[in-house]
Structure 1
Amino acid sequence: MSSKLIHSHKPFFTKMVVDAVLHLDQEELNEKMIGMKKVPGGAMQDSLFIDGVAFKKTFSYAGFEQQPKSFVSPKILCLNVELELKAERDNAEVRIEEVKEYQAIVDAEWNIIYEKLEKIVATGAKVVLSKLPIGDLATQYFADRDIFCAGRVATDDLNRVVKAVGGAIQTSVNDIKDVHLGSCDRFEERQIGGERFNLFQGCPQARTCTLVLRGGAEQFIAEVERSLHDAIMIVRRAIKNKAVVAGGGATEMELSRYLRDYSRTVEGKQQMVIAAFAKALEVIPRQLCDNAGFDATDILNKLRQKHAQGGLWYGVDMTTESIGDNFEGFVWEPALVKTNAISAATEAACLILSVDETVRNPQSEQPGQGGMPPRGAMGRGRGRGMMPRR
């Protein structure tokens, strides 16, 4: 939430992110059930939280405007079937001897598409969605029967609709039963900015939501999307793992103090290793000070003093340009995130230190240098590449 673009709207987007995560199934917390759609134009405060699935209106054919745009508790059919009139004579060689045989072929093509449409209408579905195109003939056919249809629906959107409303994506129009259909409390098509959106609200099968992001330019909206995605993942992690620690370098300073004290109880070279690890942890608060333009040396000296006196959660305070109790100031981080970060950094450092030396392959030298490198350049590991310590 501290991004330069959305920092001034932090309360607005914070509530939206928390509501979105709490709206999910609290056992799974599947972040894929949160959709984010970008609509250029308007202010960032015009962004919407929609309880359900929403996606942009797909490409429409003639007859689309005659279709109803709102339903209450409709049956929803999701297909992976193309509903367009196909001229099979263009895809295959057909030999005929009489004109009436040609007419029979043309009639068969029309009968195939009409048979598909009749079977769809017979299911009782009022909203028909398909991954594949739904042509002008099918669009007008559905409009005459008060059915809404949308073709070329994106795979991600259609999958989210199926999870939310129930049913399953059908690859054939034959033998479709009620168990294959989904339902929601309300379906409508609504104008949002310069775009038309199809909204499925009150979905019974899965808890899902959609964030419609507004902004003046594509770059701004893209930055908002990235910031909200990071925030959603942190909130999701915090709900799954309820243990939290103070941020702002407080945890690293306390660990550094503990390890520095512990190193004095260890003899031999291990004492230097532990002390170096403790000093390395101070990089986090120092970097925070550098990024904020504070005097890092002065801040770190104050933090060392506070933590030596038992100030467990004291870290860098960005508002006062000094130090403060970040736990009381609600600067929190999930404990699991902190654990994973320190573990990953430790493993990377151990991997680098385990490399004895690197040897350059003579064949990779630049043209004109020619010949073998001096013996001293090869070192002890000649021909061995990167050799880990034993």
Structure 2
Amino acid sequence: MQRGLPMQPTVVLLKEGTDTSQGKAQLLSNISACLAISETVASTLGPRGMDKLIVSERGEAQITNDGATILKLLDIVHPAARTLVDIARAQDAEVGDGTTTVVLLAAQFLKEVRGYIEEGVSPHIIMKGFRQAAQLAIDHIKSVQITVDKSDPVLFRSLLMKCASTSMSSKLIHSEKPFFSNMVVDAVQSLDQDDLNESLIGVKKIPGGGMQDSLLIHGVAFKKTFTYAGAEQQPKSFRDPLIVSLNVELELKAEKDNAEVRVEAVSDYQAIVDAEWEIIYRKLDAIEKTGAKIVLSKLPIGDLATQWFADRDIFCAGRVPADDLQRVVQAVGGSVQSTCSDIRREHLGTCGSYEERQIGGERYNIFTECPKAKTCTLLLRGGAEQFIEEVERSLHDAIMVVKRAVKNGDVVAGGGAIEMDLSSRIRKHALSIPGKLQLVMIAFAKALEIIPRQICDNAGLDSTDILNKLRMKHANGEKWFGVDVDGPEGIRNNLDAFVWEPSLVKLNAISSATEAACLILSVDETVRGPQSEAQNAGPKAPPGTAQRALREEAGECQGGDRGRACNYEV
């Protein structure tokens, strides 16, 4: 240092203990983490996809092959890999199906350009090429999608059945596709066709019986609520009853617990007790005068009220879940009342038939023949509880797919057909572009082939041979040829075979996967703040835990499941 010059002070930007990693190595680490995530869910794709058994810390087991559910159950700690979890959830919320597809596509886009990143190609050029290719793909899907005429109800129902069946082909319930497809289409068509609010389709899980014992109730069904002894004396079925829905507590304790009174004489105390009884009897008389034969309430109905209603041949149910009560009101009409006074006829609902029925080991209150029925209830049966939960997830996917098909009516062929067609088109277009963008768009086109390739691999077919056949068909203009996991050829025209999917599933998957890939490519530095003092003051971790956690989060442990220890010596 030259004599006479003052020393430059050290500038501290980040708090001590902050971990930073940046540059090309960080980008490649993020890509590796995303590939590890995709490998976890890849085997669940297609009609021969395998299921995952995921056990939580509390020992609860879930069996599923839904991509969004798997990623939600896994405790993924790598910050970049969590982007794939987000796009899977977004796909599930927006269209309901294609969650595994969107994760595989995003990871494959990154895998195909990893070599270019290593060679020093700017991520911005890759992102530009991806966005151009994605726009080409979206425009092409919109140009080739088939719009089904909704004016013919028989033809349109046939379309919805095929879309539901295709959605279920990779699920546990694929052996019962015709039965459940019919049930799903009936459920969606029972909703208000303007808003198609799928939350008005109730799902109840009843262990026992077989899948074929599942029922679709055109109306509302809910499990018999907690009742007192007098409930057994109440009638168990009605024809054309009036129904009152309340948000009122019909118990003595409501008045007892909500007041404090000081008295000087026993007679004063007796007057207070009499007043409490008077209040509840006044409520019960007011309800009886409405003419209602069924009384439902969100809040408890006590033993006094239960017996009082039983003596007058009125059925009552307290503590009805809020969503069930909302669906009852939607089906039978009327509105939920928060007081027992001034209840008029327009506040009451009615239904053609009410009965309490034994289903499996449970008793259910069932309202059918409802005049305003814009709701329905699926009663699912099956052996194991985990199996019924997976049936529910599968039906949710199918319901969302049918809902999108009803709203749009545009379909494309599934089974990898549309991906192969897009790959062929983008590859041809790329050859007309000079420079690095050509390489990026060809990489995008090649990445799209991961869908038919993975379907083949999961079915035990020779993916190289089948993809070569498909490339030849698509080069000759046979745009609807895709994978056939059952036939001897391995390929077929999936449009003619009725393997149909709403085009919205594919449009959303390609745009979401492209955006996720571009987002990960745009990150070149990760800054991790130091642990807070509160965390440091906690119980001491076993030796090596901190180093192992850092390696997990840096992408060196790529299993995605923090529950499994990595094979590092620390």
Return the alpha-carbon distance in structure 2 between the equivalents of residues 132 and 13 of structure 1. 35
* 1:220 partnered with 2:390: no
Per the TM alignment, residue 329 of structure 1 is displaced from its structure 2 partner at its CA by 0.6
Whether 2:495 is the aligned partner of 1:327: answer yes
TM-score for the superposition, normalised by structure 2 = 0.62
Q: Percent identity?
A: 69
* Alpha-carbon offset, residue 107 of structure 1: 0.5
Which position in structure 2 is the counterpart of 1:138? 305
Q: CA deviation at 1:359?
A: 5.1
Q: Which of 227, 242, 247 is equivalent to 1:75?
A: 242
2:224/2:365 contact within 8 Å kept: yes
Q: Which has the higher helix share?
A: 2
- Secondary structure of the structure 1 residue equivalent to 2:188: helix
Distance 1:42 1:313 in 2: 40
| Separation in structure 1 between the aligned mates of residue 369 and residue 222 of structure 2, nearest angstrom | 15
Deviation at 1:279, TM superposition (A): 1.2
Q: Per-residue deviation at 1:170?
A: 0.8
CA 1:128–1:354: 2 relative to 1, 3 Å: same
Partner of 1:192: 359
How far 1:223 moved relative to its partner?
1.4
Q: 1:192 to 1:259 in 2, by over 3 A?
A: same
Is contact 1:86-1:109 (8 Å) kept? no
Output aligned runs, 1:230-249, within 5 Å. Answer: 230-249=397-416
Amino acid at match of 2:418: T
Q: Match of 1:354?
A: 522
**Alignment match of 1:260 (pick from 424, 427, 439):** 427
**Is 1:283 aligned with 2:450?**
yes
Per-residue displacement from partner, 1:50-88 (whole Å, max 9, x unpaired)?
Answer: 111000111111211111111111111000100011275
- In structure 2, the residue matched to 1:274 is 441
Structure 1 residue 362: Cα displacement = 9.0
Quote how far apart the aligned CAs of 1:101 are.
1.1
d(CA) in 1 for partners of 2:260 and 2:312?
Answer: 36
Q: 183, 187, 205: which is aligned to 1:16? A: 183
Alpha-carbon distance change, 113 to 323 in structure 1, aligned in 2, over 3 angstroms: same
Q: How far apart are residue 209 of structure 1 and its match? A: 1.2
**Residue aligning to 2:24:** none
Instruction: Write the distance in 2 (CA, Å) between the matches of 1:253 and 1:137.
Output: 69
Contact 2:219 2:369 in 1 (8 A): yes
Following TM superposition, by how much is the alpha carbon of 1:368 offset from its aligned partner in structure 2, in angstroms?
A: 11
Q: How do residues 66-145 of structure 1 correspond to structure 2 at under 5 angstroms?
A: 66-86=233-253, 88=255, 92-145=259-312
- Higher mean alpha-carbon deviation, 86-95 vs 38-47, is at 86-95
Q: Which SS does the other structure have where 1:95 is aligned?
A: coil
Q: Aligned pair 1:6/2:156, yes or no?
A: no
2:122 is aligned to none
1:35 aligns with 2:202: yes
- Counterpart residue identity of residue 324, structure 2: D
Find the residue that maps to 2:203 and give its secondary structure.
Answer: strand
Alpha-carbon distance, 1:130 to partner? 0.3
- AA aligned to 2:499 is V
Match of 2:510 among 342, 345, 353: 342
Cα distance in 2 between the residues matched to 1:91 and 1:360: 54
Paired amino acid for 2:425 = Y
The answer to whether structure 1 residue 302 and structure 2 residue 488 are counterparts is: no
* 163, 169, 172: which one aligns with 2:330: 163
After superposition, what is the alpha-carbon deviation per residue over 1:148-184, rounded to whole angstroms, capped at 9, x for unaligned?
1000101110011011111111111111111111111
Residue 455 of structure 2: SS of its match in structure 1?
helix
Q: Write out per-residue CA displacement over residues 299-347 of structure 1, whole angstroms, 9 at most, x where no aligned residue.
A: 1111111111111101111111511111111111101111010001111
Q: Residue 285 of structure 1: CA displacement?
A: 1.0
Q: In structure 1, how many angstroms separate the alpha carbons of the residues matched to 2:530 and 2:303?
A: 64
Residue type of the alignment partner of 1:6: I
- SS of structure 1 residue aligned to 2:206: strand
User: Which secondary structure does the structure 1 equivalent of 2:306 belong to?
Assistant: helix
Deviation >4 Å, runs of 4+? 87-92, 359-364, 366-369
- Partners in 1 of 2:334 and 2:194 — Cα distance? 22
